[in-house]
Structure 1
Amino acid sequence: MIRPDNATRVRSMVLLAAVVAALVAINLTAHLAGSPVAVLAVPLGAVIVVGVARLVGLQWREMGLSRAELRSGVPYALAAVVAVFGIVTVAVAIPATRQFFLSDRFDSATAALFAALVTIPLQTVLPEELLFRGVLQGSLGRLFGVRTTLSLGAAAFGLWHVGSSMGLTEGNEGLRSVLGSGAIGQVLGIAGAVAATTAAGFVFGWLRHRTTSLLAPIALHWALNATGAVGAAVAWHLPS
């Protein structure tokens, strides 16, 4: 007979395995399926995963989504947005760092603003935070301590970005000049992107843990991505 505490641990392990499997499936669908399935895979997948996780017992507070948790994250969210906008403004103003913002995807103000206000929050930031700092971190927290939870969550977030990093150096003038444009440059670009997003995932996870709120990492994640897009549009129109 399985003791109650062992049965709870088994259920938590099954939940974690199911979440990881769902993340893999969503990621593969987003990068291998054709439109519109690929476009909807991450946001729709996030809604389904959150709903199923809640149905099987993961609490809103464990995902940083209860009303109290969301309120507690407001000051941190505002501080994160202000800090990132300030840092990016300075980086774009300096010619030495400006080149790293020269992404072909955002060479027009219209494309950058649409991405910052629509695509990035709805297709990237909100679903990824729900999946990783919400459901995955909540599931990991049932089984592991804080350090292991944050480390595993960060590693998963880094690996999540392998597919989206394909061709990264080809579309960024600054990275291409540093890493090169061949196969080696592409591999280095992917490795760099995975390392950077792993580090970012750790920071997002720590912020989620520190504030108990999903709102804070959402704000920081959005600020980083949105200022990157807007910064790119501005950088293209400044002297090199």
Structure 2
Amino acid sequence: MRITLVIAVLAAVQVLVNRLPAGAYVPLCAATAAVLLLIARRSGLTWADLGLGAAAARRGLRWGLVLAAAVLAVYLVGLAVPVTREAFLDERAANLSPGELVFRVLVRVPLGTVLLEEIAFRGVLWALVERRRGHVWATAVSSVLFGLWHVVPARGLTSSNAAAEAAFGTGSTGVALSVTAAVAGTALVGVLFCELRRRSGSLIPPVALHCALNSAGYALAWSAGRWWGEQLP
């Protein structure tokens, strides 16, 4: 029952995100994360069950710093190599003003996207399923739902990202294939995030990795758009 309630809350938020003004995104995500934590605590889960216990925080922080540094190193290599540079040419980032970029990197991503998704998928959902069915089922359910969560944003991938357009095209078939690939890829990333959460006992490693992937990705895509903008679709 609690799992169904959590999924229903997330479905409602997915609808609201696409109907409310952009300024409501971060408050909505923060409020939703708080509601999900309340549901989890009322279900008898402890802070440690949710990956938010103090005992595992130091270990989680060490893992998080290493992961964030690794992501930045890989991104910089990818940006420097011409054959992989096209993946960074994304209109969604390139068209941001400097102020919008700073807000996206320092506020919208960590306090909106990452906060909600990590609390929801690696915190509350994972813990609820793990308590009943074990960590394998918890990881499977959390990761599949995490992939499906990205169906809507993935629909615009081929029209904004040069690498996605080159790989799939911009027709309806290409859009369908790109969405399928994005959902499957995001689900696999979800498995990695769940394993980091399970092995460390903390949400800090997946939070750090998620922030690094998204925030650094926006920053470098914005930079790539300024340096190699003529390659954008």
1:129-181 Cα shifts (integer Å, max 9, x gaps): 01111101110111112222111111010001111212111011221122111
**TM-score, normalization by structure 2:** 0.90
Q: 1:104 aligns with which of 77, 91, 100?
A: 91
Contact 1:105 1:171 in 2 (8 A): yes
**Number of aligned positions between the proteins:** 226
* Offset of residue 238 of structure 1: 3.2
Shift of residue 16 of structure 1? Answer: 1.8
> In structure 1, what is the Cα distance between the partners aligned to 2:195 and 2:97?
33
- Give 2:137's match in structure 1, choosing from 119, 129, 148: 148
Determine the structure 2 residue equivalent to 1:200: 189
Residue 37 of structure 1, CA deviation: 8.3
Provide the C-alpha distance between the structure 2 equivalents of 1:81 and 1:148, rounded to a whole number of angstroms: 27
**After the TM superposition, which of the residue ranges 169-178 and 133-142 deviates more from structure 2?**
169-178
Query: What residue in structure 1 maps to residue 9 of structure 2?
Result: 22
Please give the TM-score of this superposition, normalised by the length of structure 1: 0.88
Moved over 4 A (4+): none
1:168 aligns with 2:157: yes
Structure 1 SS opposite 2:227: coil
Structure showing greater radius of gyration is 1
The answer to whether structure 1 residue 227 and structure 2 residue 216 are counterparts is yes
1:82 and 2:69 are equivalent in the alignment:
yes
Structure 1 portions without partners, runs of 5+: 1-13
| C-alpha displacement of 1:60 | 0.8
Do 2:125 and 2:138's aligned partners in 1 also have CA atoms closer than 8 Å?
A: no
Pick aligned residue for 1:71 from 23, 42, 58: 58
Q: Which deviations, in whole Å up to 9, do the C-alpha atoms of 1:1-42 show, x marking residues without a partner?
A: xxxxxxxxxxxxx222222222222222223x2326862433
CA RMSD of aligned residues (A): 1.7
Aligned to 1:8: none
Deviation at 1:197, TM superposition (A): 0.8
Q: Map 1:36-75; keep pairs closer than 5 Å.
A: 39=25, 40-75=27-62
Partner Cα distance (1:145, 1:56) in 2: 17
Shift of 1:64: 0.5
CA contact (8 A) 1:109 1:230 kept: no
Which amino acid letter does the alignment assign opposite residue 20 of structure 2? G
Q: Distance in 2 between matches of 1:222 and 1:131?
A: 15
1:35 maps to which residue? 21
What's the secondary structure of 1:226's corresponding residue?
A: helix
* CA–CA separation in structure 1 for the residues paired with 2:85 and 2:180: 22
Q: Is the 8 A contact 2:91 2:225 kept in 1?
A: no
Aligned residue type for 1:29: L
